[in-house]
Amino acid sequence: MPLSIQKLANRLTFRQLQVFKAVYDMKSYSKAGDLLGLTQPAVSSQVRHLEQALNMPMFEYIGRKLYCTAAGEEMAACVRSVFGELADMQNRLAALEGRVAGDLRLVAVSTAQYVVPYLLGAFLEQNPQVNISVSVVNRATALERLKENSDDLIIMGMVPQGRPLTSLPFLDNELIPVAAAGHPLLEQESVSAEAFLHSRLLTREPGSGSRLALEVYFQQHQLRIDPIMELGSNDAVKHAVLARLGVAVVPKLSVLSELALGSLRALDIAGFPLRRSWCVVYPQGRHPTPAMKAFVNYVQQNIARFERLFKGLAAN
C-alpha cells in the first residue's frame, strides 16, 4: 500500500533528491560524486535510502552500464518539477527585492565563442546572482537544441527562416578571406573569386554558419564550392591555413592576433568581407525567465558599446 504523503515526506530528504538527479543526469555514481563532492559510497548510500523510502529500485546495472528504471523515470520527472519550482521561487523572491537571480543557459555556435566572453563581464557585474552556463556547439547542434527548447538563449548568425523565433541582432560578424604570409595570392593587388576558389580552399563542415555564407557567395558568382579539406572548427581551419595547406574564409574576430602578427594576411577579393550579424535567439513561444529578460535587455541597451569595443579590438 502506498505511503501517505506525510509519511513519504518524513522519509525523503532534499539531499536524496539532489543526489538522485546527479546520478540520473550523469548516468554514473562516480561522476555524480565528482559533481557533488561526494564519495561513490556516499552517493550509493543516498540512492539506497531513497529506494528504501519508495520501496522501488531507481537504477539498475545491465552489464557494466547504469540504466534508470521505470520508477526512476517517474522520480526524475518529479525531481525536475520540484527543483524547477524552487528555482522559480528563488527568482520571484529576488524580484521582490529588485534583484535578478537564477540560472541562464546560453548556447553559442562555435564561431561566436570569440564574442560571448565580452558580453558577460558587465552583465555579471550588474547581476552577480545570475549563474551562467555556456555551451559551445556547432550550428547543427545549436539548431537541434533550439528546436528542443532545451536552453534559454542561442547566440548565432544566419538565423533560420520559417521558424517562430525571436531574434535580436547585436553585432556585425565579418568573414574575411585569409592566406598565410608569403602565399602567392598576396602578391596580387586584387584576387578573383575563381583564383581564390582554386587555391586549395579549406572550409568548415557542411551546415556551419561560415560555410553557408561562403556557399551563398559562390552561388551568387555562379561558382561551385570545392574544398580540398573540411574541418570541424574555426581554430582547425585557422591552423590549417597557418600550416600552408590552403586558403580559407574565417571570422575576423577569430584571427585578430594572427593578423596583427602578420602570420595571416587578408586577401582583397570583391564582395568581401561577408557581413552577417550575431543574434540572440529564442523561440517566440518561450516564457522568458527574469535572467533571460535581463540578458536580452542588457544586450539591446549595449549594442553601440559592443560595436565600439569590437572595432577597438580589430584595430589593435
Q: Given this model, what pLDDT does residue 244 score?
A: 96
Q: What is the pLDDT of residues 126-137, one digit of tens each?
A: 888 898 999 999
Q: Given this model, what pLDDT does residue 309 score?
A: 87
The least confident of 2-11, 138-147, 177-186, 287-296 is 2-11
Rounded Cα distance, 154 and 139, in Å: 10
Q: Which helix (H) or strand (E) holds 313?
A: helix 303-315
Give the residue-averaged pLDDT of 172-188: 94
Helix (H, G, I), strand (E, B) or coil at 60: strand
- Domain span including residue 24: 5-93
Are residues 190 and 257 located together in one domain of the fold? yes
Q: Given this model, what pLDDT does residue 7 score?
A: 77
Counting beta carbons within 10 angstroms of the beta carbon of residue 283, is it exposed (0 to 12), middle (13 to 18) or buried (19 or more)? middle
Are residues 9 and 84 located together in one domain of the fold? yes
Helix (H, G, I), strand (E, B) or coil at 162: coil
Pick 53 or 98 by higher pLDDT.
53
Rounded Cα distance, 209 and 278, in Å: 11
Q: What is the pLDDT of residues 220-270, one digit of tens each?
A: 989 988 899 999 888 999 999 999 999 999 999 889 999 999 999 999 999
Instruction: With cut-offs at 50, 70 and 90, classify the pLDDT of residue 209.
Output: confident
Q: Which helix (H) or strand (E) holds 180?
A: strand 165-180
Sign of CA dihedral 165, 171, 176, 181: negative
Residue type, 263: S
Rounded Cα distance, 51 and 47, in Å: 6
Q: Given this model, what pLDDT does residue 313 score?
A: 75
Pick 179 or 172 by higher pLDDT.
179
The share of the chain scoring above pLDDT 70, in percent, equals: 96
Give, to the nearest 10 degrees, the angle between helix 29-36 and helix 40-54: 110
**What's the CATH code of the domain at 108?**
3.40.190.10
Give the residue-averaged pLDDT of 98-123: 86
**What's the CATH code of the domain at 35?**
1.10.10.10
**Whole-Å CA distances, 80 to 31, 52, 74, 87:** 19, 21, 10, 10
| For residue 113, pLDDT beyond 50 | yes
| For residue 5, pLDDT beyond 60 | yes
Are residues 255 and 282 located together in one domain of the fold? no
| For residue 306, pLDDT beyond 80 | yes
Strand extents, DSSP E, 2-152: 59-62, 65-68, 102-109, 130-137
Helix (H, G, I), strand (E, B) or coil at 149: coil
| For residue 315, pLDDT beyond 80 | no
Q: Given this model, what pLDDT does residue 316 score?
A: 64
**What's the CATH code of the domain at 243?**
3.40.190.290
Q: What integer best gives the mean pLDDT of the chain?
A: 89
Give the residue-averaged pLDDT of 291-304: 93
Residue 253, beta-bridge partner list: none
Are residues 162 and 303 located together in one domain of the fold? yes
Q: What is the count of structural domains for the chain?
A: 3
Are residues 126 and 34 located together in one domain of the fold? no
Give, to the nearest 10 degrees, the angle between helix 116-126 and helix 290-301: 110
Contact 109, 209 (CB under 8 A): yes
Are residues 166 and 299 located together in one domain of the fold? yes
C-alpha 278 chain-centroid distance: 13
Domain C-terminal end among 59, 93, 127: 93
Q: What is the DSSP letter of 152?
A: S
Residue 180, beta-bridge partner list: 264
| For residue 94, pLDDT beyond 90 | no
Are residues 35 and 80 located together in one domain of the fold? yes
Are residues 179 and 270 located together in one domain of the fold? yes
Are residues 152 and 281 located together in one domain of the fold? yes
Nearest C-alpha neighbor of 184 from the set 199, 203, 167: 199
Max Cα separation, the chain? 85
Instruction: With cut-offs at 50, 70 and 90, classify the pLDDT of residue 39.
Output: very high
Contact 111, 234 (CB under 8 A): yes
| For residue 191, pLDDT beyond 60 | yes
Domain C-terminal end among 93, 121, 152: 93
The share of the chain scoring above pLDDT 90, in percent, equals: 56
Are residues 106 and 140 located together in one domain of the fold? yes
Contact 232, 212 (CB under 8 A): no
| For residue 281, pLDDT beyond 70 | yes
Q: What is the DSSP letter of 95?
A: H
Q: How long is the chain?
A: 316
Are residues 181 and 266 located together in one domain of the fold? yes
Q: What is the pLDDT of residues 21-33, one digit of tens each?
A: 999 999 999 999 9
Is the overall model pTM greater than 0.75, yes or no? no
Rounded Cα distance, 130 and 260, in Å: 36
Q: What is the pLDDT of residues 59-90, one digit of tens each?
A: 999 888 899 999 999 999 999 888 878 877 77
Are residues 126 and 177 located together in one domain of the fold? no
| For residue 46, pLDDT beyond 80 | yes
Domain C-terminal end among 75, 93, 111: 93
Rounded Cα distance, 22 and 11, in Å: 20
Rounded Cα distance, 246 and 239, in Å: 10
Instruction: With cut-offs at 50, 70 and 90, classify the pLDDT of residue 2.
Output: low
| For residue 1, pLDDT beyond 50 | no
